[in-house]
Amino acid sequence: MTFSSRNPNADAPIGIFDSGFGGLTVARAVVDQMPNEDIIYLGDSARAPYGELPLASVREYALECLDYLAAQGVKALVIACNSASSAVLRDARERYSVPVVDVILPAARRTASATRGGQVGVICTEATANSRAYDDAFVANPQITLHTQACPEFVEYVEAGITGGPDLLAVAQDYLAPLQDDNIDTLILGCTHYPLLTGVISYVLGDTVTLVSSADECAKATYARLTRLNLLHPGPRESRHRFFTTGNPERFERLGRRLIGGLVADVEQFSALNPAWKD
Protein backbone atom coordinates (compact mmCIF):
# COMPACT_ATOMS: atom_id res chain seq x y z
CA MET A 1 0.00 0.00 0.00
CA THR A 2 1.36 3.43 -0.94
CA PHE A 3 0.39 6.88 0.30
CA SER A 4 0.50 9.74 -2.17
CA SER A 5 0.40 13.54 -1.78
CA ARG A 6 1.85 13.27 1.68
CA ASN A 7 2.09 16.50 3.65
CA PRO A 8 5.61 16.76 5.16
CA ASN A 9 4.12 18.34 8.29
CA ALA A 10 2.14 15.18 8.97
CA ASP A 11 5.08 13.80 10.95
CA ALA A 12 4.80 16.57 13.55
CA PRO A 13 3.11 15.81 16.88
CA ILE A 14 -0.23 17.06 18.16
CA GLY A 15 0.12 19.38 21.16
CA ILE A 16 -2.48 18.89 23.90
CA PHE A 17 -2.79 21.33 26.81
CA ASP A 18 -4.84 21.12 29.98
CA SER A 19 -4.78 22.67 33.41
CA GLY A 20 -4.06 19.27 34.93
CA PHE A 21 -5.36 15.73 34.66
CA GLY A 22 -8.76 16.19 32.99
CA GLY A 23 -7.29 16.64 29.53
CA LEU A 24 -5.99 13.09 29.72
CA THR A 25 -9.50 12.07 28.65
CA VAL A 26 -8.90 14.09 25.46
CA ALA A 27 -5.45 12.53 25.02
CA ARG A 28 -6.99 9.07 25.41
CA ALA A 29 -9.65 9.87 22.82
CA VAL A 30 -7.06 11.33 20.41
CA VAL A 31 -4.88 8.23 20.68
CA ASP A 32 -7.89 5.93 20.23
CA GLN A 33 -9.09 7.79 17.14
CA MET A 34 -5.65 8.58 15.68
CA PRO A 35 -3.29 5.79 16.80
CA ASN A 36 -0.55 6.78 14.34
CA GLU A 37 -0.16 10.28 15.74
CA ASP A 38 2.56 11.49 18.11
CA ILE A 39 1.32 13.68 20.95
CA ILE A 40 2.90 16.06 23.43
CA TYR A 41 0.74 16.65 26.48
CA LEU A 42 1.32 19.46 28.96
CA GLY A 43 -0.71 19.60 32.18
CA ASP A 44 -0.35 22.71 34.34
CA SER A 45 -1.21 20.77 37.48
CA ALA A 46 0.95 22.97 39.74
CA ARG A 47 -1.48 25.86 39.16
CA ALA A 48 -4.70 23.85 38.84
CA PRO A 49 -7.60 23.95 39.16
CA TYR A 50 -8.15 26.72 36.62
CA GLY A 51 -11.89 26.71 37.32
CA GLU A 52 -11.41 28.70 40.52
CA LEU A 53 -9.04 31.31 39.04
CA PRO A 54 -9.87 34.73 37.53
CA LEU A 55 -10.11 34.59 33.74
CA ALA A 56 -7.09 36.90 33.43
CA SER A 57 -4.93 34.37 35.30
CA VAL A 58 -6.30 31.49 33.26
CA ARG A 59 -5.44 33.37 30.08
CA GLU A 60 -1.90 34.12 31.25
CA TYR A 61 -1.14 30.56 32.33
CA ALA A 62 -2.77 28.94 29.31
CA LEU A 63 -0.91 31.06 26.77
CA GLU A 64 2.36 30.40 28.57
CA CYS A 65 1.84 26.65 28.20
CA LEU A 66 0.52 26.88 24.64
CA ASP A 67 3.57 28.96 23.68
CA TYR A 68 5.78 26.09 24.84
CA LEU A 69 3.86 23.50 22.85
CA ALA A 70 3.89 25.69 19.73
CA ALA A 71 7.66 26.04 20.07
CA GLN A 72 7.99 22.24 19.89
CA GLY A 73 6.86 22.29 16.27
CA VAL A 74 3.43 20.74 16.76
CA LYS A 75 1.06 20.56 13.79
CA ALA A 76 -2.03 21.38 15.85
CA LEU A 77 -2.86 22.68 19.31
CA VAL A 78 -5.68 21.12 21.30
CA ILE A 79 -6.96 23.13 24.26
CA ALA A 80 -8.26 20.23 26.34
CA CYS A 81 -9.68 22.44 29.08
CA ASN A 82 -13.05 24.15 29.08
CA SER A 83 -11.89 26.95 31.39
CA ALA A 84 -8.87 27.68 29.18
CA SER A 85 -10.93 27.40 25.99
CA SER A 86 -13.36 30.01 27.26
CA ALA A 87 -10.47 32.33 28.19
CA VAL A 88 -8.01 32.10 25.29
CA LEU A 89 -9.54 30.48 22.20
CA ARG A 90 -9.84 33.66 20.15
CA ASP A 91 -6.36 34.84 21.16
CA ALA A 92 -4.84 31.43 20.45
CA ARG A 93 -6.25 31.27 16.93
CA GLU A 94 -4.71 34.65 16.17
CA ARG A 95 -1.43 33.90 17.96
CA TYR A 96 -0.43 30.55 16.43
CA SER A 97 0.10 29.50 12.82
CA VAL A 98 -1.20 25.95 13.40
CA PRO A 99 -4.86 24.93 13.75
CA VAL A 100 -6.28 25.30 17.26
CA VAL A 101 -9.06 22.98 18.44
CA ASP A 102 -11.07 23.61 21.60
CA VAL A 103 -13.53 21.53 23.61
CA ILE A 104 -16.51 23.88 23.72
CA LEU A 105 -17.59 24.36 20.10
CA PRO A 106 -17.39 20.65 19.12
CA ALA A 107 -19.50 19.68 22.14
CA ALA A 108 -22.05 22.36 21.31
CA ARG A 109 -22.35 21.17 17.71
CA ARG A 110 -22.88 17.57 18.82
CA THR A 111 -25.45 18.64 21.40
CA ALA A 112 -27.47 20.63 18.88
CA SER A 113 -27.98 17.46 16.85
CA ALA A 114 -28.50 15.17 19.86
CA THR A 115 -31.13 17.02 21.88
CA ARG A 116 -34.72 15.87 21.43
CA GLY A 117 -36.61 18.66 23.14
CA GLY A 118 -34.11 21.51 23.33
CA GLN A 119 -33.64 21.32 27.09
CA VAL A 120 -29.87 21.09 27.46
CA GLY A 121 -27.79 21.04 30.61
CA VAL A 122 -24.10 21.77 30.94
CA ILE A 123 -22.01 20.95 34.00
CA CYS A 124 -18.73 22.80 34.23
CA THR A 125 -16.31 24.74 36.42
CA GLU A 126 -17.10 28.14 37.92
CA ALA A 127 -14.76 29.82 35.40
CA THR A 128 -16.54 28.25 32.43
CA ALA A 129 -19.96 29.07 33.87
CA ASN A 130 -18.98 32.70 34.50
CA SER A 131 -17.54 33.07 31.00
CA ARG A 132 -20.90 32.08 29.46
CA ALA A 133 -18.91 30.37 26.71
CA TYR A 134 -21.55 27.69 26.19
CA ASP A 135 -24.30 30.32 26.04
CA ASP A 136 -22.32 31.99 23.25
CA ALA A 137 -21.83 28.64 21.50
CA PHE A 138 -25.61 28.15 21.28
CA VAL A 139 -26.49 31.70 20.28
CA ALA A 140 -27.32 30.51 16.74
CA ASN A 141 -29.66 27.81 18.12
CA PRO A 142 -32.60 29.69 19.70
CA GLN A 143 -34.56 26.44 19.99
CA ILE A 144 -32.15 25.30 22.73
CA THR A 145 -32.63 26.36 26.33
CA LEU A 146 -29.38 26.01 28.24
CA HIS A 147 -29.27 25.19 31.95
CA THR A 148 -25.80 25.65 33.47
CA GLN A 149 -24.62 24.03 36.70
CA ALA A 150 -21.14 24.56 38.12
CA CYS A 151 -19.78 21.40 39.77
CA PRO A 152 -16.39 22.36 41.23
CA GLU A 153 -16.13 19.44 43.65
CA PHE A 154 -16.20 16.96 40.77
CA VAL A 155 -12.69 18.08 39.79
CA GLU A 156 -11.44 17.49 43.32
CA TYR A 157 -12.80 13.94 43.33
CA VAL A 158 -11.23 13.09 39.96
CA GLU A 159 -7.86 14.54 40.89
CA ALA A 160 -7.95 12.48 44.07
CA GLY A 161 -8.58 9.38 41.93
CA ILE A 162 -12.11 8.90 43.30
CA THR A 163 -14.73 8.01 40.68
CA GLY A 164 -17.32 6.23 42.86
CA GLY A 165 -18.60 5.73 46.39
CA PRO A 166 -21.38 7.15 48.58
CA ASP A 167 -19.76 10.55 49.16
CA LEU A 168 -19.37 11.23 45.44
CA LEU A 169 -22.89 9.96 44.79
CA ALA A 170 -24.32 12.40 47.35
CA VAL A 171 -22.42 15.30 45.73
CA ALA A 172 -23.62 14.27 42.27
CA GLN A 173 -27.24 14.05 43.41
CA ASP A 174 -27.00 17.54 44.90
CA TYR A 175 -25.41 19.07 41.79
CA LEU A 176 -27.69 17.37 39.29
CA ALA A 177 -31.02 17.85 41.09
CA PRO A 178 -31.67 21.33 39.57
CA LEU A 179 -31.04 19.94 36.07
CA GLN A 180 -33.45 17.09 36.73
CA ASP A 181 -36.04 19.67 37.82
CA ASP A 182 -35.44 21.45 34.49
CA ASN A 183 -36.24 18.19 32.64
CA ILE A 184 -33.10 18.25 30.53
CA ASP A 185 -32.82 15.59 27.83
CA THR A 186 -29.12 16.16 27.00
CA LEU A 187 -26.18 16.96 29.27
CA ILE A 188 -22.82 18.34 28.20
CA LEU A 189 -19.91 17.17 30.32
CA GLY A 190 -18.35 20.63 30.10
CA CYS A 191 -15.10 19.82 31.85
CA THR A 192 -12.67 17.21 30.62
CA HIS A 193 -12.48 15.71 34.11
CA TYR A 194 -16.15 14.79 34.00
CA PRO A 195 -16.08 11.89 31.48
CA LEU A 196 -14.30 9.97 34.23
CA LEU A 197 -17.49 10.35 36.27
CA THR A 198 -19.85 9.12 33.55
CA GLY A 199 -20.89 6.16 35.70
CA VAL A 200 -22.20 8.17 38.65
CA ILE A 201 -23.67 10.91 36.43
CA SER A 202 -25.58 8.35 34.32
CA TYR A 203 -26.73 6.58 37.48
CA VAL A 204 -28.22 9.78 38.89
CA LEU A 205 -29.79 11.08 35.66
CA GLY A 206 -30.92 7.79 34.17
CA ASP A 207 -30.83 6.47 30.64
CA THR A 208 -33.23 9.05 29.20
CA VAL A 209 -30.61 11.82 29.37
CA THR A 210 -27.99 11.77 26.61
CA LEU A 211 -24.48 12.59 27.77
CA VAL A 212 -22.16 14.53 25.44
CA SER A 213 -18.47 14.29 26.28
CA SER A 214 -16.53 17.42 25.40
CA ALA A 215 -13.40 15.22 25.39
CA ASP A 216 -14.69 12.81 22.74
CA GLU A 217 -16.10 15.58 20.58
CA CYS A 218 -12.81 17.49 20.80
CA ALA A 219 -10.91 14.44 19.52
CA LYS A 220 -13.39 14.02 16.64
CA ALA A 221 -12.99 17.69 15.74
CA THR A 222 -9.20 17.30 15.80
CA TYR A 223 -9.42 14.33 13.43
CA ALA A 224 -11.69 16.28 11.07
CA ARG A 225 -9.45 19.36 11.07
CA LEU A 226 -6.28 17.38 10.39
CA THR A 227 -8.02 15.41 7.65
CA ARG A 228 -9.18 18.57 5.88
CA LEU A 229 -5.66 19.99 6.02
CA ASN A 230 -4.03 16.71 4.92
CA LEU A 231 -2.09 16.61 8.18
CA LEU A 232 -2.98 13.14 9.43
CA HIS A 233 -0.09 10.71 9.43
CA PRO A 234 -1.05 8.43 6.52
CA GLY A 235 0.28 5.04 7.58
CA PRO A 236 0.72 2.74 10.55
CA ARG A 237 3.68 3.39 12.80
CA GLU A 238 4.69 3.20 16.43
CA SER A 239 3.66 6.59 17.73
CA ARG A 240 5.33 8.48 20.57
CA HIS A 241 3.45 9.99 23.50
CA ARG A 242 5.24 12.50 25.75
CA PHE A 243 3.73 13.86 28.94
CA PHE A 244 4.84 16.97 30.85
CA THR A 245 3.49 18.42 34.07
CA THR A 246 4.27 21.57 36.00
CA GLY A 247 3.51 19.60 39.15
CA ASN A 248 4.91 16.37 40.54
CA PRO A 249 5.73 13.92 37.71
CA GLU A 250 5.44 10.83 39.91
CA ARG A 251 1.99 11.83 41.17
CA PHE A 252 0.88 12.78 37.67
CA GLU A 253 1.96 9.42 36.27
CA ARG A 254 0.45 7.47 39.15
CA LEU A 255 -2.93 9.18 38.87
CA GLY A 256 -2.84 9.19 35.07
CA ARG A 257 -2.29 5.44 34.97
CA ARG A 258 -5.11 4.92 37.45
CA LEU A 259 -7.52 7.03 35.40
CA ILE A 260 -6.73 6.10 31.78
CA GLY A 261 -4.32 3.16 31.96
CA GLY A 262 -0.83 2.64 30.60
CA LEU A 263 -0.95 5.47 28.06
CA VAL A 264 0.65 7.75 30.67
CA ALA A 265 4.31 6.88 31.21
CA ASP A 266 7.68 8.56 31.76
CA VAL A 267 6.12 11.87 32.76
CA GLU A 268 8.60 14.75 32.57
CA GLN A 269 8.88 17.90 34.67
CA PHE A 270 8.13 21.25 33.08
CA SER A 271 8.74 24.45 35.03
CA ALA A 272 6.31 26.99 33.61
CA LEU A 273 7.68 29.57 36.00
CA ASN A 274 11.21 29.34 34.61
CA PRO A 275 11.42 30.90 31.12
CA ALA A 276 15.00 29.66 30.74
CA TRP A 277 13.79 26.05 30.96
CA LYS A 278 14.50 24.12 27.80
CA ASP A 279 13.39 20.67 26.65
For residues 28 and 31, give the distance between their C-alpha atoms in angstroms, rounded to a whole number: 5
Torsion sign (Cα): 112, 224, 31, 53: negative
CB 146 within 8 A of CB 254: no
DSSP string, the chain: ----S--GGGGSPEEEEESSSTTHHHHHHHHHH-TT--EEEEE-GGG--GGGS-HHHHHHHHHHHHHHHHHTT-SEEEE--HHHHHHHHHHHHHH-SS-EE-SHHHHHHHHHHH-SSSEEEEEE-HHHHHHTHHHHHTTT-TTPEEEEEE-HHHHHHHHTT---SHHHHHHHHHHHHHHHHTT-SEEEE-STTGGGGHHHHHHHH-TTSEEEEHHHHHHHHHHHHHHHTT-S--S-----EEEEESS-HHHHHHHHHHHHGGG--S-EE--TT-TT---
Catalytic residue (one of 81, 124, 151, 218): 81
191 as an active site residue: the answer is yes
Catalytic residue (one of 65, 151, 191, 218): 191
124 as an active site residue: the answer is no
How are strands ordered across the β-sheet holding 14-18? 100-101, 76-79, 14-18, 39-43, 241-245, 268-269
For residues 172 and 157, give the distance between their C-alpha atoms in angstroms, rounded to a whole number: 11
Name the residues annotated as catalytic. 81, 191
